[in-house]
Structure 1
Amino acid sequence: MLPTSTTTHATREPASRVALVTCDQFPELWDDDFPLRDALRARHVEVEAVRWDDPEADWNAYDLTILRSPWDYVPRRDAFLAWARRVPRLLNPADVLEWNTDKRYLRDLASAGVPVTPTTYVSPGDTWIPPASGEWVVKPTISAGSQDTGRYTLPGQAALAQAHVERLLVAGRTAMIQPYLTAVDTTGETALMFFRDPTGRLTFSHAARKGPMLTGPDEGKIDPGSEDISARQPSEAELAVAARVLAALPVDQASLLYARVDLIPGPDGAPVLLELELTEPSLFFLTAPGAAERLADVVVTLL
């Protein structure tokens, strides 16, 4: 009688699943996020691009949900935040998004001692009188990708600037007015990317130079990708200001996967904060070889 044959099959753990959140305009992700998608797949993570407002999406099926390019949320911010509160294991989390998607967060950081671009806020019911002279930027406090943003030279374009502010107020939005810092035309902005490290702190990964985008009054939506982006090595002064920004966060750094700190030289040449991006920033992987792999390694540790 022949002996009974037995075969042992190795048990393979099911792959972790990660959703990279996008929008209808970029159903397969914005191309700058392809390196992150590919780096995760190379680490045997199952990755799907999913629209944040997809009614068929089962967010409970993912081990992590990572915001990347949900750039159509601005006119539906309330719905977006309600969605974020329902999604388990969302990075960055909903309480961070609620604070960071309204640029009045700059007041909190300024109160904490962070050097911030001087900003005037005008809410519905307020009256705004344009300054006598200078170049000024008008934009809503809730926006993304320079939407509804314009640059005005006063006094010649005072009427246009005032009409822009009034248009925002009539729509029930809050306007913010900032001086146009001319260093953006020469030095450009410095965007510093920070990723979570094994201790739960945000650690500098890489930086990029962002060229000027605003050439005049608001003429409608600026297309994503129209920025001039290149690699940059930040100065010690920029790294120091970015560290002050992160130290002033009203949230625990351990809850964050990434942060982007956008700086520009002020009138005296010292860096000041333009924006702190904690919601859905471009992370400029295409200008920084190895950066997507670094973030993918962080994601794998969280899985």
Structure 2
Amino acid sequence: MIVQSIFAALFLTADLGLASQSPRADSGNGTVFDAQFSSLIQEAMDANNITGMSVGVLLPNGGVEFGAWGNRTESGETIAPDTSFGLGSLSKGFLSASLGILMQDFATGKNATALPHGVTEFNWDTKLRDLLPGEWMTEDEFSTSKADLVDLLSHVTGLPRHDVSYSPDDSPRDLVLRMRDLRAAYEFRQLLEYNNQTWTPTKRRIPFFITEHTADLIAGAGGVISSAKDMLLWARLIMNGGVDPQTNVQIIPNATVNLVTTGHSVYSNEGNELFSVMEYGLGWIRTAYRGHEVSICVPFVS
């Protein structure tokens, strides 16, 4: 995996009366957030009514630099590099990594939880109907029998979002059981069709306004909260192949990092003067920016 750079940019949008201001650099030598770049950021925030922003950058020499703009409360408390934001669909990258760690634990015997009857191993090729016996079913027999976790997380089940088909009162099991009654937009593995319902099965740090019950539905698809400082730790971990650069401990299996950042479906089939054709991995986008290969974990914008 070749990653030239990762920007952890987090946004908070609300009508809090933002005043123009310079970034509050937290560390680094000011090589990124100079007056010109800061002015461009401020112009973009003003044009898009963005109230606050926190940005972290990993420098080529291993250092870090942070910039923060705007307010986080109506009383004027300012944004800082450790201000927490809801990450939206960046949460998907955490879910796919967590599944890879869980699979490694099963493979090494660290996790001895009983698997469903007849399932001898838990990996990316394990079929959903075997993991969820009597529950996983779609209107199509082929996808019912052949779909695995890679299909699910790369959005190629053929099912569209169907966002009005579930409510906060539903459980993840309710969503799975209802999928057999939902109409597909495409054939299985034909095209990428973005669907948050296929990202429901885990919890992480979630916003306070999401109830414990609803957390089961939203956490995997978009429930993580974090800060620019924490996201740089995450970026460093991914760029280092899943190894913590400070302790040299393998946190995420290297095979998982490679798998989730590799394209499995076509995200955008048209390039431009900046970006090449984009592929979708498992919560990550793989593309080239001005000839440099990059992996990007970004929220989906429809």
TM class by smaller structure: under 0.3
TM-score under structure 2 length normalisation: 0.26
TM-score normalised by L of structure 1: 0.26
Indicate the structure with greater strand content.
Answer: 1
